[in-house]
Structure 1
């Protein structure tokens, strides 16, 4: 049966720290990956190698003791395969046995290393300290011919501390990798959220304008069924034109959404459309006038950066849409001013409380979206009734000075 690691299943991502660091429940079921099998085989071979290298040291021991050494040494090496399921229990048992038996030392070293890697310091530290304590009876009961008791204790202490430090380093590295992975996932999720919000604002700004135009023309046909044929034809043409433009805008936004999601063929099925800039404001005002709005535009000359102009265009577009919804028929004044190196301001003003014809319902999200758009561009936006009795939307956006080729050098 194929092994499935927990971190490969999205529904178990919450368990990733336990899988990565081994801080799971003692005795839990172990499902090894290919890498886990390779590591476990290597640990088994290390324990077996250490055990075999210590066999010559017990050749002079009595036969019963040699038999006990060989039996427990073989069992300890076999128990290494249980190190993932019962790491603490294996470490405690092998540490106790190694206080007298020599052939258990290899399995004891592997067990201490496993606890250092797979358990926090509050568990691995006391177990390592317990292993150091058990060195005292070992060097006293099983003295080595070429080492003094103190020399044997120092050698055993060096081995235990080296193995423990090695395990701690590996555990710290795993914690660092997991932390970096979590940060990367959080950054990716935040980027996706910001992209979704940007697309939602774009969709609202684009479609709200087109749909409000459709509603105005349709309302004119509804309230004036006896209008001349030329006016009905003109209104029907405007409805058809705005419906077509709305579909195009919607198709463009969906294309951006597909591209942001990385869908295959997104660039082929939905071509990019040019984004509006400040130079497109007169066209927007003409469309509003054709829909029956009384709009006056004060637009200065000069080149404005594309991104800045697009933000101002969207702010004015949404403000005009709100004026059509809530003050239909009222005169609207659009004023854009500013200079490079300072700010570019946009003001949309219309009389407050004017109601003519059918009122278009709104989602009450347009002004919130305008405020977010201005803040993301590094500016600010204010809206509300003015002392003169008008409703005013004002936005101030930073206007950076364009660099020349000489400045770059």
Structure 2
């Protein structure tokens, strides 16, 4: 009877392919159909950029949101089992945590230090692959007083991944419009003095400044830190030019990309305006950035070569040096040379630090920011 019930819901999930959906409404519909067949107490359904595996927005609930930061750190900074990037490269795209750790809870930092203290006893993770690319992750959670997920439930979810992945790929086209819905259509422009005093701004810039002030919890009279950061960086570049200092530093763009609390990414770039009459000023452009733009922006900020950017893309997807070498048709020694150069340019010392830096910080490096 349970098998027949599950088959009916499988059909319902595949029937969703005929509907007209946004990315969010489709994921919400999938979650509704999953609940009767694979009961869960909490969930996180995330879409990702297939080229970098960076999140493009999650459908979640308060119980998971409360531990989101810990899960984020675990995914990118700690050794553990069933990492999303590992599941992407695995032949089996769905995995149950408790089934892997029940005899040895110490084997998973996530299970011992994050899930159990939060009252969860198990999680089931799935990655969605379509056309050889990953388009999203789904994690279902059960409370500690509930039975763990079963192999039958894992197999059922695995069967549904093809249809869900296809729809995540299709609705990714509408996701861009969803992400832009609340944003101004025109670019934001503000002018500031060399003393970082706001001179003027258009309506779009006023909107973005209000979002930044809300994020930082600062007063309406305070210029947000990212604006001060790019402006200060520009001034330092101008000083280098005037002193004929290192030309490579002078070429560094005064640009920053940060993630707002609602998931949108905001790009800021400063430019020097030479006044024909009066003191020079600084112009700052503010535009919404799409997730697929982030890697190139950060790579540009650090002066990575095209080959280094390609290596970085594979590192973010957790490829080993051997796998990167095979994909790029180069030797592992050349991969290591590229990695050493990337480490030097970004100021990190390991792959783990590199991934954490590019995934968690969309802003200028420490020496280019101000307090």
**Superposition TM-score, scaled by structure 2 size:** 0.18
Greater strand proportion: 2
More relative contact order in 1 or in 2 (CA 8 Å, sep 6+)? 2
**Superposition TM-score, scaled by structure 1 size:** 0.17
Q: Which has the larger radius of gyration?
A: 1
